[in-house]
A = this chain, B = another copy of it.
């Protein structure tokens, strides 16, 4: 008689699992130099150092008149101080002169401040200054924005709009970035059909694939990732092996969805083993996503995510993106967690990091968090109703109503 027992397994903690994948991975991304607007959302592959002080000279911060501050110390509406209004480029000025100046223009010698238009009467060739200003009033001092030799963009930073503006400011039209990270996504499962098959497929007992679309779209939100879908493969080790090898050849990372259950249904595992990949993490102490495994083939990781959309989504956010961030040294991929008041008790499972979908919203003078109380990791609409998730650490039973908790936004 054939007795099968399913003993309790030990699941890998998330951080340890990621550390193992970082250690085992051995791929690298080429560096490409691209034009500024195309660099948006890409990962800087160089430290950008300023070749100049900026502003490069003292310049006016307003439209007004450049003057010497010492000449108008006693100025007031009752005691307007006259200055000779000189034209631009009229040669040398003295502290008895004033010159009209526009925002951003260089302050000519010997002037050291700018009076605003509303504090001045203009009469013929003179201006009358009605108010004193201190030295450097309304002036941007040379180098106050950034200085020569200052690092403006650190290697590993995701390029945002102000980085592009700083590059323009220092006369750069391009920046070195890593080429896009290629990630291949493979859907597994004989029961899975593409959405092309239409809802009639459900009547035949099939499932329309939504998980790999969720994974692809989630990756697509990062401009430094180029995901590619390889299609749906039935539970056939030979076919899965073939597509795995092709995807591993064409990408740095491969993600599979489905086929990760602890039962006999683990064709993905068997396919992964059959190509000679090493399974380095088998099961992770997270819920949802416990059956997630990770393998390495030629220094490239294969993340075997759940076929359930929410579990796969958490897998992408918590495992794949954290791995990418650590491995490539990306700065600032993790959004700031926010602090908010929990409106209902939530419980986790000791030994597992539990991820609870939540809705965060403004409630009076603070932020409140409402857990989306839908059980399954298959409940896709819970993601649409949520705008964040709450992580219950593995050593915590849960959080009480009224607790302040940290939330990661979607």
Contact = CB atoms under 8 A, between A and B. Distances in A.
> For the side of the interface on A, what is the size category?
35 or more
A181 to B, nearest CB: 17
Contacts of A201: 171
A208 interface: yes
Contacts of A36: 195, 213, 217
A225 interface: no
A10 to B, nearest CB: 14
Given A61-B376, A152-B384, A362-B337, A217 B165 contact: yes
Interface of A: 1-8, 36-37, 40-41, 51-52, 54-57, 61-64, 100, 102-106, 117-118, 120-124, 140, 144-146, 152-153, 160-173, 189, 191, 195-203, 205, 207-211, 213-214, 216-218, 220-221, 261-265, 307-309, 313, 336-340, 360-362, 365-367, 374-381, 383-384, 387, 404, 409-410
Copies in the complex: 2
A168 B210 contact: yes
A61 B374 CA distance: 13
Given A1-B123, A172-B195, A217-B37, A384 B117 contact: no
A214 B380 contact: no
A118 B171 contact: no
Contacts of A361: 336
A218 B163 CA distance: 11
Given A308-B103, A378-B140, A221 B40 contact: yes
A102 B265 contact: yes
Contacts of A195: 36, 167-169, 171-173
Given A61-B378, A117-B6, A197-B171, A309 B165 contact: yes
A73 to B, nearest CB: 22
Given A52-B202, A63-B261, A366-B339, A165 B104 contact: no
Contact of A52 (B106, B160, B199, B265): B199
Given A56-B202, A166-B381, A171-B195, A1 B124 contact: yes
A213 B164 contact: yes
Contacts of A221: 40-41, 160-161
A198 B173 CA distance: 9
A160 B375 CA distance: 22
A6 B120 contact: yes
Given A367-B338, A409-B336, A102 B263 contact: yes
A199 B217 contact: no
A159 B74 CA distance: 62
A37 B212 CA distance: 11
A41 B221 CA distance: 8
